[in-house]
Amino acid sequence: MRTGIPIIIIGSSMFVLGLILFYSIQIGQTDPILRFIKNTGTFVGLSGMGVTLAGIIIYLINRNAQPIQEDFEIENRDQ
């Protein structure tokens, strides 16, 4: 199985989890636990973006390139 696809899925789920953690807490909370959850959401979301980008790059590097087909036939137009 290709390595890039699972990494893209994991990174996307990290990003979504980070969005949920970040936006579930209202702005201006003074409770340290809620601030910690909001900061954790920020970290997980940004990390998820990086993991997704890494998965896309790995997928693009590992895909099979089409073989180069060169046509060396020369047509004779003087007939």
Mean pLDDT of 60-74: 77
Mean pLDDT of 10-20: 94
pLDDT of residue 43: 94
pLDDT tens per residue across span 20-42: 998 888 877 788 898 898 989 99
Asked whether the predicted pLDDT for residue 78 surpasses 70, the reply is no
pLDDT of residue 3: 84
Q: Are 51 and 11 in contact (CB under 8 A)?
A: yes
Domain boundaries along the sequence of the chain:
4-61
Q: How far, CA to CA in Å, does 36 sit from each of 7, 20, 30, 31, 68?
A: 26, 14, 10, 9, 54
pTM given for the model: 0.73
